[in-house]
Amino acid sequence: MSEQPLEPTRLSAHEHNVTRKRVDANALDVTDRLTQAGYQAMLVGGCVRDLLLGVQPKDFDVATSATPEQVRHLFRRSRLIGRRFRIAHVRYGRDIIEVSTFRKSQSADEHDERRHDASGLILRDNVYGSLHEDAFRRDFTVNALYYDPISGEVLDFVGGLKDLAANQLRFIGEPRVRIREDPVRILRALRFQAKLGFSLDPAIKAELPETAQLLEAIPAARLFDEVLKLFMSGYAAKAWELLASSPLCAVLFPATPKAANLVRVAMANTDARIAENKPVTPGFLVAVLLWDDYLARSVTLEATHKPAEARALAASEAVAAQQQITAIPRRFSHFARDVWGLQGRLEKRQARSISRVFEHGRFRAAYDFLLFRAASDHSAELEEAATWWTIYQECEPDERDAMLDARRSAEPKPRRRRRRRRQNSAEQKPADS
């Protein structure tokens, strides 16, 4: 602790175009009211980093000397969340400002609320401290910058400004210790690397192999949340590239081929949709990431089951296997299974089922999935099916009828079974003489 500077580097925020005008009005209301109540309150983390980079933040977080209970008392429309890290959410309509209390970087008090397991993983961290102590318990130097909207200064205790200028991601403190405190920090490192385009500290890269195994101790539900942040923040294509080239991929997605073209195509499309403010669903990414596993299981099971039964069982097994690693909420697993189930019907385009497929609630997602498969596999059959469905959607009702008639004409006629005529036994007997 003696090596940690007590006084921060102070930067005039205005000189770097960091002004109150660029800060969310609700976040300013939170800091102003906390300050008026006698507490310290500043903006912290990614919002300060992005403001300094010239990027307008989407979210604004506040750090304060007030405890969560004191924040709750001061703001009527607020609630406390979290057990591992207790924080306050202050609500302004649909806008939520996250308010965290200054915490200590470490504590020697045996009776405080910090808990570690045998490997060093933090189980609970509600040990409150000073602004100085709070800076050193954060993860990355570039995420430990504070902006005081009252004084108009940016405060840096940990060398974050230097790393920001060098475009480098570096942990505060010893990487091995910080990762053991919370192995999920390595996924955050990849996410920020993908988002910011920064280089990763070589000391962090050196910890990747061992960190991959440490992730197995993280609850599956929390890993799913981190995976969503990794792939649904607008930088999925780069995030997958970084993940696939690391030892982490084999732990998080053991059944997904690292070089899968389908995954790359889908991740790029997800980024494009987010950039255009179009909706995206985790269920689609689940379908993409587990597609190869689902196919492989289907082929194996068809040796002992009817095709429909094999596909249903393969879907259940693929989802169940991934559930052991990253929990998948039921609504997303059902979404993926519907998308998989419609692929065969989209490919075959049997006239009697085309209308039902087109009216299916997951048709559009399944159609997009077919497009991605065609683009990634370069299969003539898939490209033909994708083109057919594209035309079918865009044409007029009478033209659709013509397309259906063409499909009926192209389909082989079902063979009719011949009925054996029963000859009347009386006809077979000779007439009485």
Q: What is d(CA 180, CA 164) in angstroms, rounded to the nearest whole number? A: 25
Query: What would the mean pLDDT of 421-429 be, rounded to a whole number?
Result: 52
Per-residue confidence (pLDDT) for residue 127, from 0 to 100: 81
pLDDT in tens, 382-414: 999 999 999 999 999 999 999 999 999 888 876
pLDDT in tens, 339-362: 999 999 999 999 999 999 999 999
With b meaning 16 or more CB within 10 Å and e meaning fewer, what string describes 156-188? bbbbbbebbeeebbbbbbebbebbbbbbbbbbb
- The number of C-alpha atoms within 13 Å of 306 and in the hemisphere containing its C-beta is 2
Catalytic residue among 61, 125, 148, 201: 61
pLDDT at 117 over 50: no
What is the number of other CB atoms lying within 10 angstroms of the CB of residue 97? 23
- 236 band by pLDDT with thresholds 50, 70 and 90: very high
Per-residue confidence (pLDDT) for residue 422, from 0 to 100: 53
pLDDT at 2 over 60: no
- 62 band by pLDDT with thresholds 50, 70 and 90: very high
More confident residue, 83 or 128: 128
pLDDT at 4 over 80: no
pLDDT in tens, 313-333: 999 999 999 999 999 999 999
Residue 377, C-beta contacts closer than 8 angstroms, at least 6 positions apart: 261, 262
Architecture (CATH level 2) of domain 1-209: 2-Layer Sandwich (3.30)
- 158 band by pLDDT with thresholds 50, 70 and 90: very high
Architecture (CATH level 2) of domain 219-408: Orthogonal Bundle (1.10)
Lowest mean pLDDT among 147-151, 178-182, 186-190, 306-310: 178-182
Catalytic residue among 24, 139, 163, 201: 139
Share of the chain above pLDDT 70, in %: 89
Beta strands in 151-276, from DSSP E residues, in sequence order: 153-156, 168-169, 199-200
- 75 band by pLDDT with thresholds 50, 70 and 90: very high
More confident residue, 140 or 428: 140
What average pLDDT does the chain have? Answer: 90
- 428 band by pLDDT with thresholds 50, 70 and 90: low
Query: What would the mean pLDDT of 179-188 be, rounded to a whole number?
Result: 93
pLDDT at 431 over 60: no
Q: Output the CA–CA distances (angstroms, integers) from residue 257 to 173, 252, 263, 264, 289, in the order listed.
A: 35, 12, 9, 11, 9
Largest CA distance in the chain: 131
Per-residue confidence (pLDDT) for residue 15, from 0 to 100: 87
Per-residue confidence (pLDDT) for residue 105, from 0 to 100: 61
- 312 band by pLDDT with thresholds 50, 70 and 90: very high
Share of the chain above pLDDT 90, in %: 81
Structure tokens at 115: 């808990």
pLDDT in tens, 269-285: 999 999 999 999 999 99
Angle at 234 between CA 232 and CA 237, to 5 degrees: 90
pLDDT at 119 over 60: no
Per-residue confidence (pLDDT) for residue 115, from 0 to 100: 47
More confident residue, 52 or 433: 52
Per-residue confidence (pLDDT) for residue 414, from 0 to 100: 66
2 exposed, middle or buried (CB, 10 Å; 0-12, 13-18, 19+)?
exposed
Lowest mean pLDDT among 5-14, 140-149, 293-302: 5-14
Question: Residue 362's Cα: distance from chain center in Å?
Answer: 21
- 297 band by pLDDT with thresholds 50, 70 and 90: very high
pLDDT at 229 over 90: yes
On whether the CB atoms of residues 257 and 217 are closer than 8 A, the answer is no
Q: How large is the angle between the packed helices 261-275 and 236-244, nearest 10 degrees?
A: 150
377 is catalytic: no
Catalytic residue among 29, 32, 59, 368: 59
156 is catalytic: no
Phi/psi at 146 (5° precision): -120, 140
pLDDT in tens, 199-217: 999 999 999 999 999 999 8
Domain ranges of the chain: 1-209, 219-408
- 108 band by pLDDT with thresholds 50, 70 and 90: very low
139 is catalytic: yes
Per-residue confidence (pLDDT) for residue 7, from 0 to 100: 84
What is the number of other CB atoms lying within 10 angstroms of the CB of residue 198? 19
